[in-house]
Amino acid sequence: MKLVIPGGNGFIGSHICEVAVNAGHDVVAFGRSGEPDLTPVRHPWVGKVTWLSADVFDVDAWSDVLDGADAVIHTIGTIVQDPSNGITFERINGEAAIVAADAAAKSGVDTFVKLSIQDKPPGVSGRFLASMRRAERTIPERFPSLRSVFLQPNLVFGDDRFATCTMAGLLQAAARVVPFPYGSHEGRPLPVQSVAAAAVHAAAQDTLKGPLNVNQIDDIARTSGLIDPSDLPEPTLRPLLAGLGGATMAYWMLRRSSKTSESSSVPA
Protein backbone atom coordinates (compact mmCIF):
# COMPACT_ATOMS: atom_id res chain seq x y z
CA MET A 1 0.00 0.00 0.00
CA LYS A 2 0.98 3.61 -0.49
CA LEU A 3 0.32 5.70 2.62
CA VAL A 4 0.48 9.50 2.82
CA ILE A 5 0.99 10.82 6.35
CA PRO A 6 0.46 14.54 7.04
CA GLY A 7 2.35 15.35 10.24
CA GLY A 8 4.55 12.28 9.83
CA ASN A 9 7.53 14.04 11.41
CA GLY A 10 5.78 14.47 14.78
CA PHE A 11 5.82 12.24 17.87
CA ILE A 12 2.94 9.95 16.90
CA GLY A 13 3.34 10.48 13.16
CA SER A 14 6.94 9.29 13.15
CA HIS A 15 5.97 6.08 14.95
CA ILE A 16 3.22 5.52 12.37
CA CYS A 17 5.82 5.94 9.62
CA GLU A 18 8.09 3.42 11.35
CA VAL A 19 5.36 0.80 11.73
CA ALA A 20 4.21 1.32 8.15
CA VAL A 21 7.74 1.01 6.71
CA ASN A 22 8.41 -2.12 8.76
CA ALA A 23 5.18 -3.58 7.41
CA GLY A 24 6.41 -3.07 3.85
CA HIS A 25 4.25 -0.10 2.88
CA ASP A 26 5.33 2.75 0.62
CA VAL A 27 5.28 5.84 2.87
CA VAL A 28 5.22 9.53 1.98
CA ALA A 29 5.15 11.96 4.91
CA PHE A 30 5.11 15.72 5.15
CA GLY A 31 5.12 18.56 7.64
CA ARG A 32 6.25 22.14 7.65
CA SER A 33 9.74 21.18 8.88
CA GLY A 34 10.14 18.16 6.60
CA GLU A 35 12.26 15.19 7.66
CA PRO A 36 12.53 14.69 11.44
CA ASP A 37 15.87 15.10 13.18
CA LEU A 38 16.45 11.38 13.84
CA THR A 39 19.76 9.60 13.30
CA PRO A 40 19.63 6.95 10.55
CA VAL A 41 21.77 4.60 12.64
CA ARG A 42 19.19 4.43 15.43
CA HIS A 43 16.20 4.92 13.12
CA PRO A 44 16.97 3.19 9.80
CA TRP A 45 13.33 3.43 8.72
CA VAL A 46 13.72 7.21 8.25
CA GLY A 47 15.65 6.69 5.02
CA LYS A 48 12.83 4.56 3.62
CA VAL A 49 10.24 7.33 3.88
CA THR A 50 9.77 9.96 1.17
CA TRP A 51 9.80 13.25 3.09
CA LEU A 52 8.30 16.52 1.92
CA SER A 53 8.37 19.94 3.53
CA ALA A 54 4.89 21.43 3.10
CA ASP A 55 2.06 23.15 4.95
CA VAL A 56 -1.15 21.12 4.86
CA PHE A 57 -3.11 24.24 3.93
CA ASP A 58 -0.92 24.75 0.84
CA VAL A 59 -2.53 21.84 -1.00
CA ASP A 60 -0.77 22.54 -4.30
CA ALA A 61 2.58 21.95 -2.55
CA TRP A 62 1.79 18.35 -1.61
CA SER A 63 -1.29 17.04 -3.43
CA ASP A 64 0.85 15.37 -6.12
CA VAL A 65 1.96 12.75 -3.58
CA LEU A 66 -1.64 11.52 -3.44
CA ASP A 67 -1.31 10.00 -6.91
CA GLY A 68 -1.65 6.25 -6.48
CA ALA A 69 -2.12 6.53 -2.71
CA ASP A 70 -4.37 4.01 -0.96
CA ALA A 71 -4.83 5.87 2.32
CA VAL A 72 -4.07 9.09 4.15
CA ILE A 73 -3.25 8.91 7.87
CA HIS A 74 -3.70 12.43 9.21
CA THR A 75 -1.74 13.13 12.43
CA ILE A 76 -1.68 16.94 12.55
CA GLY A 77 -3.06 18.48 15.74
CA THR A 78 -2.36 20.84 18.61
CA ILE A 79 -3.25 21.08 22.28
CA VAL A 80 -1.85 24.62 22.61
CA GLN A 81 -3.24 27.66 20.79
CA ASP A 82 -1.27 30.60 19.40
CA PRO A 83 -3.83 32.69 17.50
CA SER A 84 -1.28 35.34 16.51
CA ASN A 85 0.44 32.67 14.40
CA GLY A 86 -2.77 31.09 13.10
CA ILE A 87 -2.63 28.18 15.55
CA THR A 88 -6.11 27.58 16.91
CA PHE A 89 -7.99 24.41 17.81
CA GLU A 90 -10.53 24.99 15.06
CA ARG A 91 -7.92 25.56 12.35
CA ILE A 92 -5.32 22.90 13.26
CA ASN A 93 -7.50 20.14 14.76
CA GLY A 94 -10.54 20.67 12.56
CA GLU A 95 -9.98 22.56 9.33
CA ALA A 96 -6.59 20.98 8.55
CA ALA A 97 -8.13 17.50 8.52
CA ILE A 98 -11.03 18.63 6.34
CA VAL A 99 -8.60 20.19 3.86
CA ALA A 100 -6.55 16.96 3.74
CA ALA A 101 -9.68 14.82 3.34
CA ASP A 102 -10.90 17.02 0.50
CA ALA A 103 -7.58 16.59 -1.34
CA ALA A 104 -7.68 12.83 -0.73
CA ALA A 105 -11.23 12.49 -2.06
CA LYS A 106 -10.43 14.52 -5.18
CA SER A 107 -7.41 12.28 -5.86
CA GLY A 108 -9.43 9.08 -5.59
CA VAL A 109 -7.88 7.88 -2.31
CA ASP A 110 -10.00 5.17 -0.68
CA THR A 111 -9.31 5.66 3.04
CA PHE A 112 -8.80 8.55 5.43
CA VAL A 113 -7.57 7.81 8.96
CA LYS A 114 -7.47 10.71 11.42
CA LEU A 115 -5.82 10.84 14.83
CA SER A 116 -8.37 12.27 17.28
CA ILE A 117 -9.05 11.97 21.02
CA GLN A 118 -11.61 10.21 23.22
CA ASP A 119 -12.04 12.58 26.20
CA LYS A 120 -11.32 16.23 26.90
CA PRO A 121 -7.84 16.56 28.42
CA PRO A 122 -7.80 17.86 32.02
CA GLY A 123 -7.39 21.61 32.17
CA VAL A 124 -7.85 22.11 28.42
CA SER A 125 -10.67 24.17 26.90
CA GLY A 126 -13.70 22.27 25.64
CA ARG A 127 -13.04 23.88 22.24
CA PHE A 128 -10.18 21.39 21.83
CA LEU A 129 -12.50 18.38 21.82
CA ALA A 130 -15.18 20.27 19.86
CA SER A 131 -12.71 20.96 17.04
CA MET A 132 -11.91 17.24 16.78
CA ARG A 133 -15.57 16.25 16.76
CA ARG A 134 -16.40 18.80 14.08
CA ALA A 135 -13.92 17.17 11.71
CA GLU A 136 -15.26 13.71 12.56
CA ARG A 137 -18.79 14.81 11.66
CA THR A 138 -17.87 16.81 8.57
CA ILE A 139 -15.54 14.37 6.80
CA PRO A 140 -17.99 11.44 6.39
CA GLU A 141 -20.80 13.81 5.40
CA ARG A 142 -18.83 15.86 2.90
CA PHE A 143 -16.66 13.07 1.44
CA PRO A 144 -18.77 9.89 1.33
CA SER A 145 -16.34 8.25 -1.11
CA LEU A 146 -13.78 8.00 1.71
CA ARG A 147 -13.78 5.21 4.25
CA SER A 148 -13.05 7.40 7.25
CA VAL A 149 -11.63 6.08 10.53
CA PHE A 150 -11.05 8.21 13.65
CA LEU A 151 -8.59 6.93 16.24
CA GLN A 152 -9.51 8.28 19.68
CA PRO A 153 -6.77 7.60 22.23
CA ASN A 154 -6.32 9.85 25.24
CA LEU A 155 -2.76 10.39 26.52
CA VAL A 156 -0.19 8.72 24.25
CA PHE A 157 3.19 7.96 25.80
CA GLY A 158 6.54 6.59 24.70
CA ASP A 159 10.15 6.11 25.75
CA ASP A 160 11.36 8.75 23.30
CA ARG A 161 9.18 11.29 25.12
CA PHE A 162 9.98 10.00 28.58
CA ALA A 163 8.02 12.73 30.34
CA THR A 164 4.89 11.22 28.80
CA CYS A 165 5.62 7.91 30.58
CA THR A 166 5.80 9.82 33.86
CA MET A 167 2.60 11.70 33.05
CA ALA A 168 0.87 8.40 32.30
CA GLY A 169 2.05 7.06 35.66
CA LEU A 170 0.76 10.17 37.45
CA LEU A 171 -2.64 9.87 35.78
CA GLN A 172 -3.00 6.24 36.79
CA ALA A 173 -1.90 7.01 40.36
CA ALA A 174 -4.26 9.98 40.65
CA ALA A 175 -7.20 7.92 39.37
CA ARG A 176 -6.84 5.60 42.36
CA VAL A 177 -7.75 8.57 44.56
CA VAL A 178 -10.21 10.49 42.37
CA PRO A 179 -11.67 8.59 39.38
CA PHE A 180 -11.60 10.52 36.09
CA PRO A 181 -11.64 9.51 32.39
CA TYR A 182 -7.90 9.77 31.67
CA GLY A 183 -7.06 7.42 34.53
CA SER A 184 -9.83 4.87 34.05
CA HIS A 185 -9.39 1.58 32.20
CA GLU A 186 -11.64 2.88 29.41
CA GLY A 187 -9.61 6.09 29.05
CA ARG A 188 -6.18 4.85 30.07
CA PRO A 189 -2.93 6.10 28.50
CA LEU A 190 -1.73 4.05 25.52
CA PRO A 191 1.81 3.40 24.25
CA VAL A 192 2.59 5.30 21.06
CA GLN A 193 3.47 2.01 19.35
CA SER A 194 -0.09 0.77 19.94
CA VAL A 195 -1.64 3.88 18.42
CA ALA A 196 0.73 3.66 15.45
CA ALA A 197 -0.05 -0.01 14.82
CA ALA A 198 -3.79 0.63 15.06
CA ALA A 199 -3.51 3.52 12.59
CA VAL A 200 -1.63 1.44 10.01
CA HIS A 201 -3.97 -1.53 10.48
CA ALA A 202 -7.02 0.73 10.11
CA ALA A 203 -5.62 2.08 6.84
CA ALA A 204 -5.25 -1.45 5.47
CA GLN A 205 -8.32 -3.16 6.95
CA ASP A 206 -11.41 -2.14 4.98
CA THR A 207 -13.84 -3.47 7.61
CA LEU A 208 -12.91 -0.71 10.07
CA LYS A 209 -14.86 2.53 9.93
CA GLY A 210 -15.82 5.43 12.18
CA PRO A 211 -14.48 6.18 15.67
CA LEU A 212 -12.21 3.73 17.51
CA ASN A 213 -11.97 4.21 21.27
CA VAL A 214 -9.10 3.44 23.66
CA ASN A 215 -10.10 -0.19 24.22
CA GLN A 216 -10.58 -0.82 20.50
CA ILE A 217 -7.23 0.76 19.62
CA ASP A 218 -5.46 -1.41 22.19
CA ASP A 219 -7.19 -4.59 20.98
CA ILE A 220 -6.46 -3.83 17.30
CA ALA A 221 -2.81 -3.07 18.00
CA ARG A 222 -2.22 -6.23 20.03
CA THR A 223 -3.77 -8.49 17.40
CA SER A 224 -2.51 -6.67 14.29
CA GLY A 225 0.80 -8.51 14.10
CA LEU A 226 2.51 -5.16 13.48
CA ILE A 227 4.10 -4.85 16.93
CA ASP A 228 5.24 -7.13 19.73
CA PRO A 229 2.99 -6.41 22.75
CA SER A 230 5.73 -7.61 25.10
CA ASP A 231 7.96 -4.73 23.96
CA LEU A 232 5.48 -1.97 24.82
CA PRO A 233 6.58 0.64 27.39
CA GLU A 234 4.71 1.02 30.67
CA PRO A 235 3.66 4.14 32.59
CA THR A 236 6.21 4.80 35.32
CA LEU A 237 6.81 7.15 38.24
CA ARG A 238 10.45 6.11 38.62
CA PRO A 239 11.97 9.22 36.94
CA LEU A 240 9.78 11.48 39.09
CA LEU A 241 10.61 9.61 42.29
CA ALA A 242 14.30 9.54 41.38
CA GLY A 243 14.19 13.27 40.72
CA LEU A 244 12.48 13.98 44.02
CA GLY A 245 14.96 11.73 45.80
CA GLY A 246 17.88 13.51 44.15
CA ALA A 247 16.47 16.92 45.02
CA THR A 248 15.97 15.84 48.64
CA MET A 249 19.53 14.51 48.84
CA ALA A 250 20.94 17.71 47.30
CA TYR A 251 18.97 19.83 49.77
CA TRP A 252 20.21 17.73 52.71
CA MET A 253 23.83 17.98 51.56
CA LEU A 254 23.57 21.74 51.10
CA ARG A 255 22.09 22.10 54.57
CA ARG A 256 24.83 19.93 56.05
CA SER A 257 27.53 21.88 54.18
CA SER A 258 26.04 25.16 55.39
CA LYS A 259 26.02 24.03 59.02
CA THR A 260 29.61 22.79 58.77
CA SER A 261 30.69 26.13 57.31
CA GLU A 262 28.91 28.04 60.07
CA SER A 263 30.50 25.96 62.85
CA SER A 264 33.99 26.34 61.40
CA SER A 265 33.65 30.12 61.32
CA VAL A 266 32.82 30.39 65.03
CA PRO A 267 35.88 31.83 66.92
CA ALA A 268 37.48 29.59 69.56
| Structure confidence at residue 183 (pLDDT) | 80
Q: Which helix (H) or strand (E) holds 133?
A: helix 126-142
pTM, two decimal places:
0.86
Does the pLDDT of residue 178 top 80, yes or no?
Answer: no
Please indicate whether residue 179 or residue 196 has the higher confidence score (pLDDT): 196
pLDDT at 238: 60
pLDDT per position as a tens digit, 56-71: 999 999 999 999 999 9
pLDDT digits (tens, 9 = 90+) for 210-255: 999 999 999 999 999 999 999 998 887 765 444 333 334 333 444 4
Residue 55: is its pLDDT beyond 80?
yes
Taking only the tens place, the pLDDT of each residue in 91-116 is: 999 999 999 999 999 999 999 999 99
Buried b / exposed e over 72-106, threshold 16 CB at 10 Å, is bbbbbbeeebeeeeeebbebbbbbbbbbbbbbbbe
Assign 260 a pLDDT band (cuts: 50, 70, 90).
very low
* CATH superfamily of the 2-161+184-233 domain: NAD(P)-binding Rossmann-like Domain (3.40.50.720)
